[in-house]
Amino acid sequence: MKTGINAIIKKIDEEAQQHSEKRYAQLKSTIDLDADSEKQLYREELDKQLSALKKHFEHEYERRIEYQRRRMNRELLEYKHELSDQIFAKVVRKFRDVTDEEFSAMFNAAVKELKGRYTLQLGARTEGKLDSRALEDAMKRYEGLEIVFSGETIPNKSGFVISDERVEYNCLLEDLVEDLKNDRLAAIMKEVFGDSEDWMFT
């Protein structure tokens, strides 16, 4: 009878072992599938985070580069503007040292196309470089031209202004230089910034 019982127990053990191994295989397969799924989800999430981090650093890099570019452009503009001011200041100082003959030549070049009666007003800084004889010579040289001194000078200016009732010809050096400086500044800004108007917002 023991032998029969042992045989039954053995058979039960074998069936239990088989069932256990089968169940283990099923669980392992399920766990492996879950693990693969988790790995895939992890990789996808990691890829998303890496992509977002990469975009963040790329944006930050581009922002810093743009900031540096604008800063260098501002410094370059300031340097060129300062250099331009120095050059034009030298031109003004040089002009104040022109001889009477050079000043007279500039005056004649300005009036040679004029006809009619005009008033001449000298800048105070170049007063005395043109006298009544120079006016008479110009009127003899250019037929139909009449010029008289205004009797007043323009303070802190070099050069002259010629005017009649309709128009005024401004030949004051400081004003001419200021116009040239403005033109030069526009050219400098285009050279530094191109056609962009970024400089207005930096």
Query: How buried is residue 29: exposed, middle or buried, by Cβ count under 10 Å (0-12/13-18/19+)?
Result: exposed
> Of 106, 104, 150, which is closest to residue 124 (Cα–Cα)?
150
Neighbours of 173 (CB within 10 A): 22
Residues in the chain predicted with pLDDT less than 50, given as ranges, are: 198-202
Determine contact, residues 161/168, Cβ cutoff 8 Å.
yes
Residue whose pair of structure tokens reads 């399920």 in the numeric block: 30
Task: Give 127-172 pLDDT, tens digit per residue.
Answer: 888 888 888 888 888 888 899 888 889 998 888 999 988 888 888 8
CA 168 remoteness from chain centre:
37
The pLDDT of residue 202 is: 41
> Which alpha helices (DSSP H) does the chain contain, by range?
2-95, 100-111, 132-141, 173-193
Neighbours of 158 (CB within 10 A): 25
Global pTM?
0.51
The pLDDT of residue 121 is: 92
Q: Are strands 145-149 and 116-122 parallel, antiparallel or unpaired?
A: parallel
Paired residues of 122 in beta bridges? 160
Residue whose pair of structure tokens reads 């989800």 in the numeric block: 41
Written as one string, the DSSP assignment of 166-184 is S-EEEEEHHHHHHHHHHHH
The pLDDT of residue 65 is: 83
